């Protein structure tokens, strides 16, 4: 089963409706945005981060138009120093490659050891967009359904006031 098919199956099992936009592979949020212009919903970026010792992992979901203040996010998490996780760590924890990171990667994290954070502002939005672990597709779904998905696969999330 392909990665996006696992995502579709999980969403269908939970009776979560979603809109699919298929497009050429997009390695960055800027590229992906071109293919979904004008569709209702906040366009997100998903950042997979780790501490310097690689003992803690963080998935931060933000509005893709905003820049991350790494120092402020480090304070929020209680870490001294955070950085983008390596492609090897990304694959080890979520079985994903760079350019495909999204909230749906947590379905591959059997250890349940990824700390999920949402930028506070986007939780006020009605709909969000994410790759379904495949950067040739973008899904739009209700914010409340994203949160339902997170809880259904055994995770909790925190809010980061960035």
CATH number where 126 lies? 3.90.960.10
Question: How confident is the model at residue 38, as a pLDDT?
Answer: 83
Name the token pair of 99: 């350019």
Question: How confident is the model at residue 27, as a pLDDT?
Answer: 81
pLDDT tens, the chain, 162 aa long: 899 999 999 999 999 999 999 999 888 778 888 888 888 889 999 999 999 899 999 999 999 999 999 999 999 999 989 999 999 999 999 999 998 899 999 999 999 999 999 999 999 999 999 999 999 999 999 999 999 999 999 999 999 998
Name the token pair of 36: 């979904």
Of 96, 102, 99, 57, which is closest to residue 77 (Cα–Cα)? Answer: 57
Question: How confident is the model at residue 31, as a pLDDT?
Answer: 81
- The reported pTM is 0.94
Q: Are 36 and 24 in contact (CB under 8 A)?
A: no
85: left (phi over 0), alpha (psi -120 to 50) or beta: beta
Task: List the domain range (segments joined by +) for residue 53.
Answer: 3-160
Q: Are strands 82-84 and 42-51 parallel, antiparallel or unpaired?
A: antiparallel
Number of domains making up the chain? 1
Question: How confident is the model at residue 154, as a pLDDT?
Answer: 95
How many Å apart are CA 126 and CA 41, to the nearest integer?
7
Task: Please report, for residues 7, 29, 57, 62, 139, the alpha-carbon distance to residue 73 in angstroms, rounded to integers and kept in the order given.
Answer: 28, 20, 13, 12, 27
């Amino acid at each position: 089963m392909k990665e996006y098919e696992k995502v579709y199956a999980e969403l269908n099992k939970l009776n979560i409706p979603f809109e699919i936009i298929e497009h050429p592979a997009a390695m960055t949020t800027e590229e992906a945005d071109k293919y979904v212009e004008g569709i209702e919903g906040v366009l997100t970026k998903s950042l997979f981060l780790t501490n310097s010792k690689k003992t803690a992992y963080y998935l931060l979901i933000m509005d893709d138009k905003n820049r991350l203040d790494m120092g402020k996010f480090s304070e929020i998490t209680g870490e001294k120093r955070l950085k983008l996780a390596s492609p090897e760590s990304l694959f080890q924890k979520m079985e994903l490659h760079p350019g495909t990171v999204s909230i749906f990667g947590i379905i591959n994290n059997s250890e349940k050891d990824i700390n999920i954070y949402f930028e506070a502002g986007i939780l006020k939005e009605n709909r969000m967009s994410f790759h379904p672990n495949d950067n040739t597709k973008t899904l739009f779904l209700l914010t409340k359904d994203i949160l339902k998905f997170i809880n259904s696969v055994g995770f909790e999330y925190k809010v980061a006031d960035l």
